[in-house]
Amino acid sequence: MKLFPYAHATHPQWGMAANLALAQLRAQMALHGYASSPTLALLYITDHYAAHAKAILDHLSAELPEITDWAGTVGVGIASNNVEYFDEPALAVMLLELPSDQYRVFSGVAPLGLTFEAHTALVHADGQTPDVADLIKELAERTDAGYVFGGLAASRGPAVQFAVAADGTVKGQGNTSGVFHGGLSGVAFGSEVALVSRVTQGCLPIHGAHQITRADRNVVLALDGEPALTVLLRELQVTLDEPREALVAIRNTLAGLTEPASLVDATPTVLRTGNFGPDVMVRHIIGLDPARAGVALADGVTEGMALAFCQRNVQAARADLMRVCAEIREELEPQEQALETATALAASDAEAAPHAARGIAGAIYVSCNGRGGAHFGGDSAELQIIRRALGDVPLVGFFAAGEIARHHLYGYTGVLTVFTGK
């Protein structure tokens, strides 16, 4: 298994950042153990560069003519190994060496056709697209694994997406530039591209789960037959007689929802760390309905769903992120290792280097733009946790306006996906 070359850079001028990244990529491609003949590139830019998306893509593709396929998008922040760039001009690139018959780039004007049997897919989407959650679910159902991963573009400017195939444009898109707005795009992978993916939500339930017994669109009216607002106030130990204290507590509270079809004994999955499992979708509380004693959420709800009020904090976020990294390592690392391999993998942070023995060629991390370092205790702390827990591996990603995993559109989560060797 060869490691995927990757690079990241920041500079007020996009051309300087692109050239810094190119220098890193070329240096790695010349190293033993790194892929020397990649054909697929993932490109993520911060929204400071969004207006220059076409120029960036044109420059990078001209300088890397061996790369025939490109995919990516924009975020208010981007991620790479051990570092994040928030609210500053930056880009990150990773070059993948995969069999040409095991992936396909797709976009809204060149949808994934029936000629390619997709096992999984990396998805970039525009959150302003009508029924985007339904489109994601439909795409997941068209994959053999029923699993897609990725996120919604996040930008204070154009919400751009990149999609370029072998001839410089995706078949069917005419002479378009490879930079898109709206819809879905990404890369579908065949069954021979081995992936391991995990979702981290990083929130703790306040109390047990309840069944929604009455609802009106996005307003929960009753939980277990009791007024929803009454349940919320009781679990937060506040009262509307002291509205200021109550509003502060409610603003720091979210709701974990589970679809009826996912329920086991009407209870959302709570892991041993106390965190929610991937079947739970966490949504903000956006208002109260005192007249009906209801609680309004940032998503539609239906009777029969399970709901558990929850809160986020640094400790919960860190613990759950370390959990998913540990699960990935446990799945990939062999039971027995040669002494040389074990020594390399046990190196300190200062001495660590990407190593094929980790079983990871590269990784993609999509996190919520409401998370990031500050949510984990400091600048780049989220990515530093991944590096310490997962090891020093090639990694790129972005901070999204919504995260995609399985057939769900999540909020306030992280989705970590690694490419493994068979």
Q: What is the pLDDT of residues 144-175, one digit of tens each?
A: 999 999 999 999 999 999 999 875 445 554 45
Q: What average pLDDT score do residues 170-185 get?
A: 74
* pTM of the predicted structure, to 2 decimals: 0.85
**Local confidence band at 263 (pLDDT 50, 70, 90 cut-offs):** very low
CA 66 to chain centre: 28
Would the CA dihedral through 34, 356, 99, 414 be positive or negative? negative
Of 47, 78, 72, nearest in space to 382 by CA? 78
> What single letter denotes the amino acid at residue 282?
V
Q: Does residue 197 contact residue 416 with C-beta atoms inside 8 Å?
A: yes
Q: Which residue has the higher pLDDT, 335 or 365?
A: 365
* Tokens representing residue 227 in the block: 């007024």
Of 303, 319, 309, nearest in space to 382 by CA? 319
Helix (H, G, I), strand (E, B) or coil at 365: strand
pLDDT digits (tens, 9 = 90+) for 288-297: 999 999 999 9
Q: How far apart are CA 73 and CA 383, in angstroms?
A: 19
Q: How far apart are CA 19 and CA 160, in angstroms?
A: 21
Cα angle for residues 396, 397, 402 (degrees, 5° grid): 170
Would the CA dihedral through 373, 377, 378, 383 be positive or negative? negative
Q: How far apart are CA 5 and CA 7, in angstroms?
A: 7
Q: How far apart are CA 33 and CA 28, in angstroms?
A: 9
Q: Which pLDDT belongs to residue 377?
A: 81
Look-up of token digits 């069999």: 99
Of 390, 367, 251, 280, nearest in space to 317 by CA? 367
Q: How far apart are CA 366 and CA 147, in angstroms?
A: 15
- Pairing type for strands 147-152 and 160-164 reads unpaired
Cα angle for residues 50, 8, 11 (degrees, 5° grid): 60
Q: How far apart are CA 171 and CA 166, in angstroms?
A: 9
Q: Which pLDDT belongs to residue 340?
A: 53
Q: Which pLDDT belongs to residue 201?
A: 84
Of 387, 374, 410, 282, nearest in space to 325 by CA? 387
Residue 53 predicted with pLDDT over 80: yes
Kindly report the average pLDDT of the chain as a whole number: 88
> At 160, phi and psi to the nearest 5?
-85, 155
170-175: list long-range contacts, CB under 8 Å, 24+ apart: 170/105, 170/106, 170/107, 170/109, 170/110, 171/110, 172/109, 172/110, 173/107, 173/109, 173/110
Q: Which pLDDT belongs to residue 358?
A: 59
Q: What average pLDDT score do residues 341-351 get?
A: 51
* Tokens representing residue 1 in the block: 């298994």
Would the CA dihedral through 114, 101, 169, 139 be positive or negative? positive
Q: Which pLDDT belongs to residue 314?
A: 82
